[in-house]
Amino acid sequence: MSFTLAIVGRPNVGKSTLFNRLVGRRLALVDDQPGVTRDLREGAAKLADLRFTVIDTAGLEEVTDDSLQGRMRRLTERAVDMADVCLFMVDARVGITPSDLVFAEILRKRSAHVVLVANKAEGNAAEAGVLEAYSLGLGEPIRLSAEHGEGLTDLYTVLMPLADGFAESRPDETPEIDVDLSEEDGDDMDVVPVPTRAKPLQVAVVGRPNAGKSTLINQIVKEDRLLTGPEAGITRDAISLMTEWAGPDGVAVPMRIFDTAGMRKKAKIQEKLEKLSVSDGLRAVKFAEVVVVLLDAEIPFEQQDLRIADLAEREGRAVVIAVNKWDVEEDKQGKLKELKESFERLLPQLRGAPLITVSAKTGRGLDRLQQAIMRAYDMWNRRVTTAQLNRWLSGMLEAHPPPAPQGKRIKMKYMTQAKTRPPGFVVMCSHPDKVPESYNRYLVNGLRVDFDMPGTPIRLWMRGQSEANPYKGRKKAPPSKLRKHIGGKPNDGSR
Protein backbone atom coordinates (compact mmCIF):
# COMPACT_ATOMS: atom_id res chain seq x y z
CA MET A 1 0.00 0.00 0.00
CA SER A 2 2.10 2.93 -1.26
CA PHE A 3 1.41 6.38 -2.62
CA THR A 4 3.20 9.73 -2.81
CA LEU A 5 2.20 12.71 -0.67
CA ALA A 6 3.56 16.20 -1.38
CA ILE A 7 3.38 18.82 1.38
CA VAL A 8 2.89 22.27 -0.17
CA GLY A 9 2.09 25.72 1.13
CA ARG A 10 3.45 29.19 1.77
CA PRO A 11 6.87 29.63 3.42
CA ASN A 12 7.07 29.07 7.17
CA VAL A 13 3.76 27.28 7.66
CA GLY A 14 5.45 24.14 9.10
CA LYS A 15 5.90 21.83 6.10
CA SER A 16 9.38 20.57 7.10
CA THR A 17 8.26 20.05 10.71
CA LEU A 18 5.43 17.78 9.53
CA PHE A 19 7.82 16.02 7.13
CA ASN A 20 10.21 15.21 9.99
CA ARG A 21 7.36 13.92 12.12
CA LEU A 22 6.05 11.65 9.37
CA VAL A 23 9.46 10.14 8.56
CA GLY A 24 10.33 9.84 12.26
CA ARG A 25 13.73 11.58 11.95
CA ARG A 26 15.02 15.13 11.73
CA LEU A 27 16.00 14.93 8.07
CA ALA A 28 14.84 18.38 6.95
CA LEU A 29 16.30 21.60 8.36
CA VAL A 30 13.80 23.55 10.47
CA ASP A 31 14.14 27.21 11.45
CA ASP A 32 11.91 30.18 12.23
CA GLN A 33 13.29 31.98 9.18
CA PRO A 34 10.97 31.67 6.13
CA GLY A 35 12.22 29.93 3.00
CA VAL A 36 14.61 27.45 4.63
CA THR A 37 13.63 24.56 2.32
CA ARG A 38 14.60 24.99 -1.32
CA ASP A 39 15.02 21.52 -2.83
CA LEU A 40 12.63 18.60 -2.91
CA ARG A 41 13.34 16.06 -0.19
CA GLU A 42 11.77 12.61 -0.24
CA GLY A 43 11.41 10.22 2.67
CA ALA A 44 9.65 7.01 3.70
CA ALA A 45 6.72 8.06 5.91
CA LYS A 46 4.81 6.07 8.49
CA LEU A 47 1.40 6.97 9.89
CA ALA A 48 -0.13 4.13 11.91
CA ASP A 49 -0.30 1.24 9.40
CA LEU A 50 0.06 3.52 6.34
CA ARG A 51 3.37 3.44 4.47
CA PHE A 52 3.96 6.05 1.78
CA THR A 53 6.52 8.43 0.28
CA VAL A 54 6.36 12.02 1.50
CA ILE A 55 7.91 15.00 -0.34
CA ASP A 56 8.93 18.18 1.43
CA THR A 57 8.76 21.18 -0.90
CA ALA A 58 9.85 24.81 -0.95
CA GLY A 59 7.38 27.48 0.10
CA LEU A 60 5.17 28.68 -2.74
CA GLU A 61 5.80 32.25 -3.85
CA GLU A 62 3.78 34.43 -6.24
CA VAL A 63 6.74 34.65 -8.62
CA THR A 64 6.96 33.15 -12.11
CA ASP A 65 10.22 34.63 -13.46
CA ASP A 66 13.72 33.08 -13.48
CA SER A 67 14.63 34.41 -10.05
CA LEU A 68 15.53 32.04 -7.24
CA GLN A 69 11.97 32.14 -5.89
CA GLY A 70 10.61 31.48 -9.39
CA ARG A 71 12.83 28.43 -9.82
CA MET A 72 11.82 27.16 -6.40
CA ARG A 73 8.15 27.52 -7.36
CA ARG A 74 8.65 25.54 -10.58
CA LEU A 75 10.34 22.77 -8.60
CA THR A 76 7.40 22.68 -6.18
CA GLU A 77 4.91 22.57 -9.06
CA ARG A 78 6.82 19.61 -10.43
CA ALA A 79 6.39 17.85 -7.08
CA VAL A 80 2.65 18.54 -7.27
CA ASP A 81 2.53 16.86 -10.68
CA MET A 82 4.53 13.87 -9.38
CA ALA A 83 2.46 13.31 -6.23
CA ASP A 84 -0.70 11.25 -5.89
CA VAL A 85 -1.98 13.41 -3.02
CA CYS A 86 -1.20 17.05 -2.23
CA LEU A 87 -1.37 18.15 1.38
CA PHE A 88 -2.03 21.91 1.26
CA MET A 89 -0.90 23.47 4.53
CA VAL A 90 -1.99 26.87 5.83
CA ASP A 91 -1.11 28.71 9.04
CA ALA A 92 -4.16 28.73 11.33
CA ARG A 93 -2.69 31.50 13.48
CA VAL A 94 -2.09 33.84 10.55
CA GLY A 95 -5.30 32.97 8.73
CA ILE A 96 -5.93 32.78 5.00
CA THR A 97 -3.83 35.18 2.92
CA PRO A 98 -4.31 36.23 -0.71
CA SER A 99 -1.42 33.91 -1.63
CA ASP A 100 -3.28 30.96 -0.11
CA LEU A 101 -6.27 31.72 -2.35
CA VAL A 102 -4.04 31.78 -5.45
CA PHE A 103 -2.28 28.52 -4.58
CA ALA A 104 -5.54 26.79 -3.70
CA GLU A 105 -6.81 27.55 -7.18
CA ILE A 106 -3.58 26.17 -8.72
CA LEU A 107 -3.82 22.95 -6.70
CA ARG A 108 -7.48 22.51 -7.57
CA LYS A 109 -6.50 22.43 -11.26
CA ARG A 110 -3.26 20.42 -11.04
CA SER A 111 -3.98 17.77 -8.41
CA ALA A 112 -6.76 15.20 -8.28
CA HIS A 113 -6.55 14.77 -4.49
CA VAL A 114 -5.97 17.80 -2.26
CA VAL A 115 -6.06 17.54 1.55
CA LEU A 116 -6.37 20.85 3.40
CA VAL A 117 -4.47 21.11 6.70
CA ALA A 118 -4.59 24.04 9.14
CA ASN A 119 -1.28 23.82 11.00
CA LYS A 120 -0.35 25.49 14.30
CA ALA A 121 -3.96 24.89 15.39
CA GLU A 122 -3.24 24.22 19.06
CA GLY A 123 -5.00 26.59 21.45
CA ASN A 124 -7.83 29.08 21.06
CA ALA A 125 -5.77 31.55 19.02
CA ALA A 126 -6.17 29.36 15.93
CA GLU A 127 -9.98 29.07 15.98
CA ALA A 128 -10.57 31.98 13.59
CA GLY A 129 -7.96 30.75 11.11
CA VAL A 130 -9.43 27.23 11.04
CA LEU A 131 -12.92 28.57 10.29
CA GLU A 132 -11.50 30.90 7.64
CA ALA A 133 -9.86 27.93 5.87
CA TYR A 134 -13.31 26.76 4.74
CA SER A 135 -13.31 29.69 2.28
CA LEU A 136 -10.65 27.97 0.15
CA GLY A 137 -13.25 25.53 -1.14
CA LEU A 138 -11.09 22.45 -0.50
CA GLY A 139 -13.35 20.82 2.02
CA GLU A 140 -13.10 20.61 5.80
CA PRO A 141 -9.63 21.56 7.06
CA ILE A 142 -7.79 19.16 9.36
CA ARG A 143 -6.70 20.80 12.60
CA LEU A 144 -3.05 19.90 13.05
CA SER A 145 -0.03 20.75 15.15
CA ALA A 146 3.04 19.39 13.41
CA GLU A 147 5.29 20.50 16.25
CA HIS A 148 3.30 18.72 18.98
CA GLY A 149 1.92 15.83 16.93
CA GLU A 150 -1.75 16.77 17.42
CA GLY A 151 -4.32 15.92 14.73
CA LEU A 152 -2.40 13.05 13.10
CA THR A 153 -5.31 10.70 13.79
CA ASP A 154 -7.61 12.94 11.72
CA LEU A 155 -5.01 13.01 8.95
CA TYR A 156 -4.88 9.21 9.00
CA THR A 157 -8.68 9.05 8.69
CA VAL A 158 -8.58 11.18 5.53
CA LEU A 159 -5.61 9.42 3.92
CA MET A 160 -6.79 5.85 4.60
CA PRO A 161 -9.53 5.67 1.91
CA LEU A 162 -7.20 7.34 -0.62
CA ALA A 163 -4.49 4.79 0.13
CA ASP A 164 -6.99 1.94 -0.36
CA GLY A 165 -7.90 3.33 -3.76
CA PHE A 166 -4.26 3.49 -4.85
CA ALA A 167 -3.65 -0.05 -3.53
CA GLU A 168 -6.41 -1.38 -5.79
CA SER A 169 -5.23 0.49 -8.88
CA ARG A 170 -1.49 -0.35 -8.74
CA PRO A 171 0.81 -3.08 -7.38
CA ASP A 172 2.29 -2.69 -3.95
CA GLU A 173 5.53 -0.70 -3.99
CA THR A 174 8.04 -0.04 -1.29
CA PRO A 175 8.68 3.69 -0.84
CA GLU A 176 12.24 4.82 -1.33
CA ILE A 177 13.84 5.50 2.01
CA ASP A 178 15.73 8.72 2.68
CA VAL A 179 18.86 7.71 4.55
CA ASP A 180 19.51 8.78 8.10
CA LEU A 181 22.94 10.35 8.26
CA SER A 182 24.63 8.05 10.76
CA GLU A 183 27.50 5.58 10.62
CA GLU A 184 26.77 2.16 9.14
CA ASP A 185 28.29 -1.19 9.95
CA GLY A 186 30.34 -3.34 7.63
CA ASP A 187 33.98 -2.62 8.42
CA ASP A 188 34.91 -6.29 8.63
CA MET A 189 33.74 -7.51 5.25
CA ASP A 190 36.15 -9.91 3.57
CA VAL A 191 35.04 -9.24 0.00
CA VAL A 192 34.18 -6.08 -1.88
CA PRO A 193 30.39 -5.69 -1.48
CA VAL A 194 28.50 -5.23 -4.73
CA PRO A 195 26.13 -2.22 -4.59
CA THR A 196 22.45 -3.13 -4.95
CA ARG A 197 19.16 -1.24 -4.90
CA ALA A 198 18.71 -2.27 -1.27
CA LYS A 199 22.28 -1.23 -0.33
CA PRO A 200 23.48 1.27 -2.93
CA LEU A 201 26.91 2.87 -3.07
CA GLN A 202 26.85 6.04 -0.92
CA VAL A 203 28.51 9.01 -2.65
CA ALA A 204 28.72 12.54 -1.20
CA VAL A 205 29.58 15.54 -3.39
CA VAL A 206 31.19 18.31 -1.32
CA GLY A 207 32.97 21.55 -2.00
CA ARG A 208 32.88 25.31 -1.62
CA PRO A 209 29.75 27.32 -2.55
CA ASN A 210 29.06 27.75 -6.28
CA ALA A 211 31.45 24.97 -7.32
CA GLY A 212 28.66 23.29 -9.33
CA LYS A 213 27.68 20.39 -7.06
CA SER A 214 23.93 20.48 -7.77
CA THR A 215 24.50 20.95 -11.50
CA LEU A 216 26.84 17.95 -11.56
CA ILE A 217 24.30 15.71 -9.80
CA ASN A 218 21.54 16.85 -12.17
CA GLN A 219 23.76 15.72 -15.05
CA ILE A 220 24.32 12.34 -13.39
CA VAL A 221 20.63 11.65 -12.75
CA LYS A 222 19.72 13.18 -16.15
CA GLU A 223 16.98 15.45 -14.84
CA ASP A 224 16.71 18.87 -13.20
CA ARG A 225 16.02 17.38 -9.80
CA LEU A 226 18.04 19.88 -7.74
CA LEU A 227 17.74 23.65 -7.63
CA THR A 228 20.61 25.37 -9.46
CA GLY A 229 21.57 28.90 -10.43
CA PRO A 230 24.34 31.49 -10.47
CA GLU A 231 23.74 32.42 -6.82
CA ALA A 232 26.16 30.98 -4.30
CA GLY A 233 24.78 28.92 -1.42
CA ILE A 234 21.50 27.80 -2.99
CA THR A 235 21.62 24.30 -1.50
CA ARG A 236 20.91 24.09 2.22
CA ASP A 237 19.81 20.54 3.02
CA ALA A 238 21.92 17.47 2.31
CA ILE A 239 19.61 15.98 -0.34
CA SER A 240 20.04 12.33 -1.34
CA LEU A 241 19.02 11.04 -4.77
CA MET A 242 18.82 7.40 -5.83
CA THR A 243 20.09 6.60 -9.32
CA GLU A 244 21.72 3.89 -11.41
CA TRP A 245 24.84 5.38 -12.96
CA ALA A 246 26.17 3.47 -15.94
CA GLY A 247 29.85 3.78 -16.81
CA PRO A 248 31.62 3.34 -20.17
CA ASP A 249 31.22 -0.44 -19.88
CA GLY A 250 27.45 -0.04 -19.76
CA VAL A 251 27.07 -1.61 -16.30
CA ALA A 252 24.66 0.45 -14.17
CA VAL A 253 25.69 0.80 -10.53
CA PRO A 254 23.01 1.66 -7.94
CA MET A 255 24.14 4.80 -6.11
CA ARG A 256 22.71 7.17 -3.57
CA ILE A 257 24.26 10.57 -4.22
CA PHE A 258 24.22 13.27 -1.54
CA ASP A 259 24.16 16.91 -2.59
CA THR A 260 25.55 19.04 0.23
CA ALA A 261 25.59 22.73 1.06
CA GLY A 262 28.68 24.70 0.11
CA MET A 263 31.18 24.87 2.95
CA ARG A 264 32.77 28.23 3.64
CA LYS A 265 35.47 29.06 6.14
CA LYS A 266 34.29 28.64 9.71
CA ALA A 267 35.07 32.27 10.55
CA LYS A 268 32.69 33.47 7.81
CA ILE A 269 29.75 31.36 8.99
CA GLN A 270 27.68 33.61 11.22
CA GLU A 271 24.04 32.71 10.60
CA LYS A 272 22.48 29.83 12.49
CA LEU A 273 20.92 28.47 9.28
CA GLU A 274 24.26 28.22 7.49
CA LYS A 275 25.73 26.43 10.51
CA LEU A 276 22.89 23.89 10.31
CA SER A 277 23.46 23.45 6.57
CA VAL A 278 27.19 22.84 6.97
CA SER A 279 26.57 20.46 9.87
CA ASP A 280 24.16 18.51 7.64
CA GLY A 281 26.84 18.30 4.95
CA LEU A 282 29.45 17.06 7.42
CA ARG A 283 27.10 14.26 8.48
CA ALA A 284 26.76 13.31 4.81
CA VAL A 285 30.57 13.03 4.57
CA LYS A 286 30.66 10.76 7.63
CA PHE A 287 27.94 8.55 6.20
CA ALA A 288 29.32 8.32 2.64
CA GLU A 289 31.58 5.59 1.31
CA VAL A 290 33.11 7.70 -1.48
CA VAL A 291 33.48 11.49 -1.22
CA VAL A 292 33.82 13.57 -4.40
CA VAL A 293 35.56 16.86 -3.59
CA LEU A 294 34.46 19.26 -6.33
CA LEU A 295 36.82 22.12 -7.16
CA ASP A 296 36.35 25.19 -9.35
CA ALA A 297 38.85 25.14 -12.24
CA GLU A 298 39.26 28.93 -12.02
CA ILE A 299 40.26 28.92 -8.32
CA PRO A 300 41.29 25.33 -7.43
CA PHE A 301 42.87 24.18 -4.19
CA GLU A 302 41.78 27.12 -2.11
CA GLN A 303 42.41 26.79 1.62
CA GLN A 304 38.83 25.65 2.19
CA ASP A 305 39.16 22.97 -0.53
CA LEU A 306 42.18 21.57 1.30
CA ARG A 307 40.29 21.50 4.60
CA ILE A 308 37.34 19.68 3.03
CA ALA A 309 39.59 17.06 1.39
CA ASP A 310 41.53 16.58 4.62
CA LEU A 311 38.25 16.13 6.52
CA ALA A 312 37.18 13.34 4.15
CA GLU A 313 40.57 11.62 4.59
CA ARG A 314 40.45 11.89 8.38
CA GLU A 315 36.96 10.40 8.36
CA GLY A 316 38.42 7.43 6.47
CA ARG A 317 36.41 7.85 3.25
CA ALA A 318 37.57 7.03 -0.25
CA VAL A 319 38.28 10.38 -1.93
CA VAL A 320 38.00 11.47 -5.57
CA ILE A 321 39.08 14.99 -6.59
CA ALA A 322 36.98 16.43 -9.43
CA VAL A 323 37.75 19.76 -11.11
CA ASN A 324 34.60 21.36 -12.54
CA LYS A 325 34.03 24.03 -15.23
CA TRP A 326 36.66 22.44 -17.44
CA ASP A 327 34.71 23.47 -20.57
CA VAL A 328 35.71 27.14 -20.14
CA GLU A 329 39.41 26.38 -19.66
CA GLU A 330 41.52 27.39 -22.67
CA ASP A 331 44.98 25.96 -21.92
CA LYS A 332 43.82 22.52 -20.77
CA GLN A 333 47.21 20.76 -20.89
CA GLY A 334 49.04 23.47 -18.99
CA LYS A 335 46.25 23.78 -16.44
CA LEU A 336 46.14 20.01 -15.89
CA LYS A 337 49.89 19.88 -15.26
CA GLU A 338 49.56 22.75 -12.78
CA LEU A 339 46.67 20.99 -11.01
CA LYS A 340 48.62 17.75 -10.59
CA GLU A 341 51.64 19.57 -9.17
CA SER A 342 49.45 21.49 -6.71
CA PHE A 343 47.65 18.30 -5.71
CA GLU A 344 50.85 16.41 -4.87
CA ARG A 345 52.27 19.39 -2.99
CA LEU A 346 49.20 20.49 -1.01
CA LEU A 347 47.53 17.14 -0.28
CA PRO A 348 50.32 14.62 0.36
CA GLN A 349 47.98 12.54 2.57
CA LEU A 350 45.91 11.79 -0.58
CA ARG A 351 48.84 11.15 -2.90
CA GLY A 352 47.69 8.90 -5.73
CA ALA A 353 43.97 9.70 -5.37
CA PRO A 354 42.22 10.19 -8.75
CA LEU A 355 42.11 13.73 -10.15
CA ILE A 356 39.33 14.03 -12.76
CA THR A 357 38.37 17.02 -14.90
CA VAL A 358 34.64 17.38 -15.62
CA SER A 359 32.09 19.82 -16.94
CA ALA A 360 28.83 19.70 -15.00
CA LYS A 361 27.26 21.99 -17.58
CA THR A 362 27.97 19.84 -20.65
CA GLY A 363 28.37 16.43 -19.00
CA ARG A 364 31.87 15.80 -20.34
CA GLY A 365 34.12 13.67 -18.15
CA LEU A 366 31.29 11.94 -16.25
CA ASP A 367 32.30 8.50 -17.53
CA ARG A 368 35.81 8.96 -16.16
CA LEU A 369 34.36 10.23 -12.89
CA GLN A 370 32.19 7.11 -12.55
CA GLN A 371 35.20 4.87 -13.21
CA ALA A 372 37.27 6.78 -10.62
CA ILE A 373 34.51 6.40 -8.01
CA MET A 374 34.26 2.65 -8.58
CA ARG A 375 38.04 2.19 -8.46
CA ALA A 376 38.27 4.22 -5.23
CA TYR A 377 35.45 2.13 -3.75
CA ASP A 378 37.26 -1.09 -4.73
CA MET A 379 40.51 0.04 -3.08
CA TRP A 380 38.60 1.21 0.00
CA ASN A 381 37.37 -2.38 0.43
CA ARG A 382 40.77 -3.98 -0.39
CA ARG A 383 41.87 -6.90 1.81
CA VAL A 384 45.39 -8.39 1.88
CA THR A 385 46.13 -11.82 3.32
CA THR A 386 48.30 -12.15 6.41
CA ALA A 387 50.85 -14.27 4.52
CA GLN A 388 51.30 -11.57 1.88
CA LEU A 389 51.64 -8.89 4.54
CA ASN A 390 54.31 -10.74 6.50
CA ARG A 391 56.38 -11.46 3.38
CA TRP A 392 56.08 -7.79 2.50
CA LEU A 393 57.00 -6.71 6.04
CA SER A 394 60.17 -8.84 5.97
CA GLY A 395 61.31 -7.10 2.79
CA MET A 396 60.54 -3.65 4.21
CA LEU A 397 62.51 -4.42 7.38
CA GLU A 398 65.51 -5.63 5.37
CA ALA A 399 65.46 -2.54 3.18
CA HIS A 400 65.07 -0.14 6.08
CA PRO A 401 65.26 -1.56 9.64
CA PRO A 402 63.40 0.35 12.36
CA PRO A 403 65.51 2.68 14.48
CA ALA A 404 66.73 1.91 18.01
CA PRO A 405 65.69 4.94 20.12
CA GLN A 406 67.56 5.14 23.44
CA GLY A 407 69.36 1.95 22.47
CA LYS A 408 66.15 -0.12 22.51
CA ARG A 409 65.90 -2.27 19.42
CA ILE A 410 62.36 -2.39 17.99
CA LYS A 411 61.46 -5.89 16.86
CA MET A 412 58.48 -6.23 14.52
CA LYS A 413 57.06 -9.75 14.85
CA TYR A 414 54.17 -9.99 12.41
CA MET A 415 51.48 -7.97 10.64
CA THR A 416 47.82 -8.52 9.82
CA GLN A 417 44.90 -6.60 8.39
CA ALA A 418 42.33 -5.81 11.08
CA LYS A 419 39.64 -4.13 8.99
CA THR A 420 38.57 -2.67 5.67
CA ARG A 421 36.57 0.45 4.75
CA PRO A 422 39.20 1.96 5.02
CA PRO A 423 42.02 -0.63 5.17
CA GLY A 424 43.48 -0.90 8.67
CA PHE A 425 46.60 -2.87 9.61
CA VAL A 426 48.14 -3.95 12.93
CA VAL A 427 51.87 -4.57 13.47
CA MET A 428 52.84 -6.52 16.60
CA CYS A 429 56.15 -5.21 17.86
CA SER A 430 58.24 -4.44 20.92
CA HIS A 431 58.20 -0.85 22.23
CA PRO A 432 55.28 0.33 20.04
CA ASP A 433 55.36 3.76 21.68
CA LYS A 434 58.95 4.22 20.46
CA VAL A 435 58.18 3.77 16.74
CA PRO A 436 58.64 7.21 15.13
CA GLU A 437 55.96 8.70 12.92
CA SER A 438 58.39 8.79 9.99
CA TYR A 439 58.67 4.97 10.08
CA ASN A 440 54.87 4.69 10.14
CA ARG A 441 54.72 6.83 7.00
CA TYR A 442 57.41 4.63 5.41
CA LEU A 443 55.25 1.55 5.95
CA VAL A 444 51.99 3.25 4.86
CA ASN A 445 53.57 4.55 1.64
CA GLY A 446 54.93 1.10 0.96
CA LEU A 447 51.47 -0.41 1.40
CA ARG A 448 50.02 2.09 -1.07
CA VAL A 449 52.60 1.27 -3.74
CA ASP A 450 53.04 -2.49 -3.34
CA PHE A 451 49.36 -3.39 -2.86
CA ASP A 452 47.92 -0.87 -5.34
CA MET A 453 46.04 1.37 -2.92
CA PRO A 454 46.91 4.91 -4.09
CA GLY A 455 44.95 7.68 -2.42
CA THR A 456 43.09 5.35 -0.05
CA PRO A 457 43.11 6.32 3.64
CA ILE A 458 45.21 3.67 5.41
CA ARG A 459 45.24 3.16 9.16
CA LEU A 460 48.31 1.57 10.78
CA TRP A 461 48.47 0.65 14.47
CA MET A 462 51.50 -0.55 16.44
CA ARG A 463 50.66 -3.02 19.18
CA GLY A 464 52.98 -4.30 21.89
CA GLN A 465 53.57 -7.99 22.55
CA SER A 466 54.62 -8.94 26.05
CA GLU A 467 57.83 -11.02 26.29
CA ALA A 468 57.89 -11.29 30.08
CA ASN A 469 57.85 -14.67 31.82
CA PRO A 470 54.22 -15.19 32.92
CA TYR A 471 55.41 -17.19 35.99
CA LYS A 472 57.87 -14.54 37.18
CA GLY A 473 57.01 -13.27 40.67
CA ARG A 474 54.89 -16.25 41.69
CA LYS A 475 55.67 -17.99 44.96
CA LYS A 476 57.26 -21.41 44.61
CA ALA A 477 54.97 -24.19 45.80
CA PRO A 478 56.25 -26.55 48.56
CA PRO A 479 57.49 -29.94 47.23
CA SER A 480 54.74 -31.92 48.97
CA LYS A 481 51.97 -29.81 47.48
CA LEU A 482 53.66 -29.84 44.11
CA ARG A 483 53.91 -33.68 44.02
CA LYS A 484 50.36 -34.01 45.23
CA HIS A 485 49.23 -31.69 42.47
CA ILE A 486 50.90 -33.81 39.78
CA GLY A 487 49.61 -37.09 41.15
CA GLY A 488 52.70 -38.33 43.03
CA LYS A 489 53.09 -39.43 46.64
CA PRO A 490 54.75 -37.22 49.23
CA ASN A 491 58.14 -38.39 50.47
CA ASP A 492 57.44 -39.10 54.17
CA GLY A 493 60.84 -40.80 54.80
CA SER A 494 59.39 -44.37 55.20
CA ARG A 495 61.60 -45.69 52.43
**Residues making up the binding site:** 9-16, 56-60, 119-122, 207-214, 259-263, 324-327
**Residues making up the binding site for GTP:** 9-16, 56-60, 119-122, 207-214, 259-263, 324-327
Give the per-residue pLDDT at 176.
47
Predicted confidence band of residue 454 (pLDDT cuts 50, 70, 90): confident
> Is 243 a residue whose pLDDT tops 70?
yes
**Residues in Cβ contact with 198 at an 8 Å cutoff, skipping those fewer than 6 apart:** none
Per-residue pLDDT tens over the stretch 307-358: 889 999 999 999 999 999 999 998 999 999 999 999 999 998 888 899 999 9
Per-residue pLDDT tens over the stretch 1-43: 478 999 999 988 999 999 999 998 887 777 667 667 767 888 8
Per-residue pLDDT tens over the stretch 353-391: 999 999 999 999 999 999 999 999 999 999 999 999 999
What domains lie within the chain, and their CATH numbers?
Answer: 3-28+36-169 (3.40.50.300), 201-225+237-263+275-381 (3.40.50.300), 386-467 (3.30.300.20)
d(CA 457, CA 157): 52
